[in-house]
Amino acid sequence: MIHRYHSNQKAHPPHVFGVAETALCNLTRRLDKINQSIIVSGESGSGKTWNARCLLKYLTTVAVCNPSGFTPSPADCIERRILDSNPILEAFGNASTSRNHNSSRFGKYIQLQFSLGNHVVGASIQTYLLEKTRVVYQCDGARNFHIFYQMLFGANEREMRNWLLGNVLSSDNLNYVPLNHSEDACNQKDKQDFIVTKQAMCNVGLSKSQQQELFKVLSGILHLGNVEFISDDDVTEPCEIDSEKQGVDTSVNAAAQLLGLDVDALTRCLAFRQITASHKRRKSVFMKPCLKDECHTRRDCLAKLLYARVFDWLVGFINGCTMARSWQSYIGLLDVYGFESFSFNSLEQLCINYANEKLQQHFVHNFLKAEQDDCQSEGIPWKFEDFTDNKTCLDIIEGNISIFALMNQQCKLNRHSDPSSFCEFLHDTISSANLSRARMSVTSPAFVVHHYAEKVTYQVDGLIEKNKDGIPAELVDLLRMSSKKFVQQLVDANVTSLQSPSKTKGKKTTSTVVSKFKNSLDSLMATLHETTPHYIRCIKPSLECQPDSFDNVHVINQLRACGVLETIQISATGFPTRMLYSDFLKRYELLIRSEDVKDLDTKSKCAVITNLVLAEADKENKMKSFLFGKTKIFLREGQLDKLEVARLKEFNLSAGVIQIWWRKILATKSKQEAAVVIIQAGFRGWKVREDVKRRHEAARVIQYAMIGYSIRLHQRKLEEQLNEVDSDEFADSDVQECNDEQSQQNNSILTEGILSAVSLDNEPHDSNLSVISSSNGTKEVEDKRDKFTSKGTKEVEDKRDKFTSKDSKEVEDKRDKFTSKDSKEFDDQNKRDVYDTDKKINKIEERENLNNNSRTQVHENGNLNCNSGGRSEGNTIVNIELKKDGDEISQKKSSDEQCGTHKPIASEHQNGRLVEEEPVNQGTTTIINKFVQVATTPAVDIAFGIVLLGLLYHGPVRL
């Protein structure tokens, strides 16, 4: 059914869901007053509470939103809490009367809060005038609030023991809740409803401990009803607890325990009243014993105070769980107590019927009277209808000289009033056709008020005392001293400030029940005037509250009383929709497709729109579906929907055009992105290839230049060394020639090694050098030192004589030997010479010039640095062996003397390394060692390092 009316409400009969859909559509269209109100009114038992529940269900169902896909959705959680608040409020605020089994004994205004997207985001509840008198008194055929019966018939044994109600059902000794075990069906329903109520409490967020504290307070109220007093004939003696009556002492102790009070403090507060006397600057406070009736009145006052505060605390807790932090608009659902008329009517019925009179006045003013007045002021032809206005009835209830004013005046006197005298004073002061005397059959003082629905007789007895509703200060102080924190929360400073009288500008003002109720109702009316109202009138088919029972007379009386007949006539001939020209044009201007109307005024543009949409349908109708007033356009029922349909079609067409162009843009953008990716890929590939090519070319140029530079540098140094060798004089020319021949052979071999070392085809030499340190062992060092020191001058001279004493024959024999050998022997000889040379180099240890002529330093990274420090007396040769496959590289330094002598051999440790000197021949070994010295200079090592880096990293090499 909800889906049907939400999709197309016009295609279905009138329904409560149709009213809710109309309010939701007005909220969505945002016409005139955005906020909406649905007012549900009718007699007690006509179904207002049930209809309000249906409205709440409809709006929370169709206005949910779950964009994030949560399970359950946030809107469902809000809907669940809003709907769960109904069973709680009905349990604590509804009761059974003689005319209704579930009568609302309070008024509530539920405000459903909507977001900017018209989705339900929260709710708040505002209550009016709880009938707390029902807690302590019920007339015949009525019951107390539902929650008490649910507790007694629905709780289990453990809960009954915790609430100290274990023996209640067996003894039936509860004065506040008269039990009737004969109604088994009703008791079974209370048991089921108690399960629903507890589950609803859990759903709104009430914890188990909070529920237990709540039920303990309610149990304490039930035990308070059993507290009774007895008094002696002596007035000066205080009243005492009636201990002789069964269960009284038990109830006193149970009430004190459940409420966290001291038993003696509780009984003393109920039996004594505090009196404050002030004289000039002196203030005296004393306690006066109360009479028996006064003690019972104070007991009932304490019970009503506790229950009212429990109800208000529940409403505040529910609002804290359901109210939204921010919202844009709202739809209000007003469910108030219906019009009541019983055999005995007191202050509660007077306030309830006064609220219904205010709602009827709101309906008359906003629908009946405002409709005709608006048409008259706008110059619209109108046939005026007669309707009943209840303004005079409201004047005798709330006017300056009215029933409420006289009641408040009696309360200010602060003395006991006589019902008969007040009734006479009322009739003498107020003269109106809506106020009359009671019939003779009514024995007690009473007056009759002619309401819009029917005449109601109100008894004056107890009317003034209920209006005072005074809460003694000592009762409030007693509850504040409770050991229960929950009881202390119920009675706070804000409660007493509203209940107790205050002094303003020297005048004593009393806050009465009717004054507080009137103020709250005026606030509700102001809220309703700011919204667009929608009315639901509930008609009670019969007084029996039984199905299939229809009383024609009773139904006709209700229709006439609430003005439904006049409403039908006005609706048939009236214009329910009225909009200002500016608002109408703002919403429907998009229906004008022609640009020729730009120069027209606002009213003419509105006429163009209505003729375009509604003129075709008016040709078949006798009455025109729209009229133009001075400032507003008037539309009949259903015409606004046609305009909305035309506006929706225009929106759909525009949306289709926008979608077409937007999809085209997206497709073009997608193709452009694909093309851009292809272009970027091609460009990046070309750029990388060019970069690699440039780096390779740069590396080849650098390699070529460095190799050429290294070869030229080596050749230049070799030439210098050869020139120095040629300048030396030897004693024997034959020896010189032999040495030259041997040197040339060694030079050619060394040159080939150097050139092959710097070639790109071979791997660069290992620049890691090592020296023989002192860690090689003391024994080896001493042996080598002895070897060199043991050689004497004789060995040196023998070698020199060997070269000089040879005659020409030996030289020629050697020359013939070399020339006569074939190529194979020559090659073998060359290999042996190279092997001997390498073997001699490997046997030379590291030498360092002691006279700082030439220093060799080995860094930690393995590079060899040669620094010249001073001028040497002779030629110093540093012999270096390349380290390969773990072989040691040794350095030796020898000094040959020009005159065939040698320097003294010295040994010294410098920087942790052993430095020794050894004399070396000036022959072939000297030339080879000089070649090796030049080839292993730091410059060559650095050049080879740069070349290797260039080969490993193909980046730009900047020189």
Residue 234 pLDDT exceeds 70: no
Which pLDDT does position 141 carry in this prediction? 81
Report the mean per-residue pLDDT for the chain: 75
- Predicted confidence band of residue 506 (pLDDT cuts 50, 70, 90): very low
Of the two residues 28 and 683, the one the predictor is more confident about is 683
Compute CA distances 682 → 266, 471, 676, 689, whole Å.
96, 91, 10, 11
Cβ proximity of 45 and 103 under 8 Å: yes
Helix axes 473-480, 263-271, angle to 10 degrees: 170
How would you write 895-956 as a 3-class SS string? EECCCCCECCCCEEEECCEEEEECCCCCCHHHHHHHHHHHHCCHHHHHHHHHHHHHHHCCCC
The structure tokens 């439904």 sit at 564
* Nearest partner of 54 among 87, 17, 82, judged by Cα: 17
3-class secondary structure, 477: helix
Token representation of residue 794:
């004789």
Residue 517 pLDDT exceeds 80: yes
Of the two residues 819 and 283, the one the predictor is more confident about is 283
d(CA 479, CA 324): 33
Range 895-920 average pLDDT: 41
Token representation of residue 433:
């056709």
Which pLDDT does position 631 carry in this prediction? 86
Of the two residues 688 and 876, the one the predictor is more confident about is 688
* Nearest partner of 33 among 363, 631, 527, 640, judged by Cα: 527
Q: CA dihedral defined by 243, 244, 245, 246, rounded to 10 degrees? A: 90
Backbone angles phi, psi at 391, to 5 degrees: -65, -40
Question: Concatenated DSSP letters for 241-258?
Answer: E-TTSTTHHHHHHHHHHH
Compute CA distances 595 → 527, 598, 616, 650, whole Å.
43, 6, 22, 16
Angle at 825 between CA 821 and CA 830, to 5 degrees: 110
Which pLDDT does position 623 carry in this prediction? 65
d(CA 102, CA 85): 16
d(CA 641, CA 78): 31
Residue 779 pLDDT exceeds 70: no
Neighbours of 359 (CB within 10 A): 23
d(CA 747, CA 726): 14
Task: Compute the radius of gyration of the chain from its Cα atoms.
Answer: 59
d(CA 415, CA 541): 46
- In this prediction, what percent of the chain has a pLDDT beyond 90? 27
Q: Quote the distance between the C-alpha of residue 144 and its chain's center.
A: 44
Cβ proximity of 143 and 193 under 8 Å: no
Compute CA distances 368 → 563, 570, 864, whole Å.
9, 7, 116
Which pLDDT does position 66 carry in this prediction? 58
Residue ranges in 484-601 assigned as alpha helix (H): 485-490, 493-499, 513-529, 552-561, 564-573, 581-588
The structure tokens 């001028």 sit at 871
pLDDT tens, 519-546? 988 989 999 989 989 989 999 898 887 8
pLDDT tens, 824-860? 444 455 455 544 544 444 544 444 443 334 333 333 3
Instruction: Please report how many Cα atoms fall inside a 13 Å half-sphere around the Cα of residue 33, on the Cβ side.
Output: 16
| Side chain identity, residue 139 | C
Question: Concatenated DSSP letters for 858-886?
Answer: E-TTS-EEEE--S--SSEEEEEE----TT
Query: N- to C-terminal Cα distance for the chain?
Result: 89
Token representation of residue 888:
């040691």
Cβ proximity of 385 and 372 under 8 Å: yes
Strand 329-335 to 36-42 pairing: parallel
pLDDT tens, 569-612? 777 666 777 788 888 888 888 888 776 677 788 888 888 888 88
Q: What is the pTM of this model?
A: 0.63
Which pLDDT does position 367 carry in this prediction? 73
| Side chain identity, residue 188 | Q
Range 865-873 average pLDDT: 38
The DSSP 8-state label assigned to residue 536 in this structure reads E
Residue 897 pLDDT exceeds 60: no
Token representation of residue 152:
């007694």
Question: Concatenated DSSP letters for 205-244?
Answer: T--HHHHHHHHHHHHHHHHHTT--EE--S-TTSPPEE-TT
